[in-house]
Amino acid sequence: MSSTPQIVDSHCHLDFPDFDAERDQIVDRAVQAGVTRMVTICTKLRQEPQVRAIAEKYGPVFYAAGTHPMSAANEPMVAVEELVKLAEHPKFVGIGESGLDYYYTADSAPQQRESLLVHIEAARQTRLPLIIHARAADEDMARILTDEYGKSAFSCVMHCFSSGAELAQAALDLGFYLSMSGIAAFPKSQDLRDIFAAAPVDRILVETDAPYLAPPPYRGKRNEPSYTIHTAQVGADLFGLSYADFAAQTTANFNRLFAKAA
């Protein structure tokens, strides 16, 4: 039994072409670093078969699928039934990523909101966690999540959380989770670190969002799941924990939220 603390990369994109030349090695390096599970995310449903095949090939890899908000206007509108059907796969563990992105794609806000409501309903019906992408849309995101949760409960993680304190608090008030990416490790992200530090440690996940957002000392390079450990060390310092204790805590948090992958 390895003495390396085990941790989970709760959000990455292993189907992206950045990894085509060495996917076997990428997964192996993650496991060697203690990253014993990874959730790879399908952002366009037409690509679901390729993402599913990756999860089927690698024991440590699970997957989720949805329509990314930046693609909501260019992809066919997803149906609840479609997501519910996909969720029958034993390694399908989450709904999304969905959400709102008004930074690059504010012109498609109506389609994004419609798509988000479909994903929320699929999360309710499957009892799988909703995976939320939110950028430059804090007010609408907080309102929709709060209103919809009031109608009928669902579980959720705010993936790669980098929004404001008000949205963080709205999510935490609903019992949701905040996921810490490499952004939280950037030197100029002290305001974001303060938001995480103010949250309950039993509501924190860690992720890479690989191939994006590599933490120091790899910032500016291609990210990969093995780098989860660098973001997690920043998280451990924030909460005054050893790396091993923070890894154990975030793994327990992941198991609670992503129970199908536990």
Task: Quick: pLDDT tens for 97-149.
Answer: 999 999 999 999 999 999 999 999 999 999 999 999 999 999 999 999 999 99
Q: What value does the CA radius of gyration of the chain take, rounded to a whole number of Å? A: 17
Does residue 1 have a pLDDT over 80?
Answer: no
Does residue 2 have a pLDDT over 80?
Answer: no
Q: What is the pLDDT of residue 25?
A: 98
Tell me the pLDDT tens digit for each residue of 43-101. Answer: 999 999 999 999 999 999 999 999 999 999 999 999 999 999 999 999 999 999 999 99
Is residue 69 a part of any domain in this protein? yes
- Cα angle for residues 69, 111, 18 (degrees, 5° grid): 25
Q: What is the pLDDT of residue 87?
A: 98
Is residue 1 a part of any domain in this protein? no
Whole-number Å distance between alpha carbons of 219 and 186: 8
Of 117, 109, 200, 98, the C-alpha closest to 159 is: 98
Does residue 251 have a pLDDT over 80?
Answer: yes
Tell me the pLDDT tens digit for each residue of 22-35. Answer: 999 999 999 999 99
Mean pLDDT calculated for residue range 232-257:
98
Q: State how many domains the chain has.
A: 1
CATH code (residue 114): 3.20.20.140
Q: What is the mean pLDDT of the chain?
A: 97
Is residue 2 a part of any domain in this protein? no
Domain range for 233 is: 7-261
Is residue 198 a part of any domain in this protein? yes
Residues 6+ apart with CB under 8 A from 45: 65, 66, 67, 75, 76, 78, 82, 86
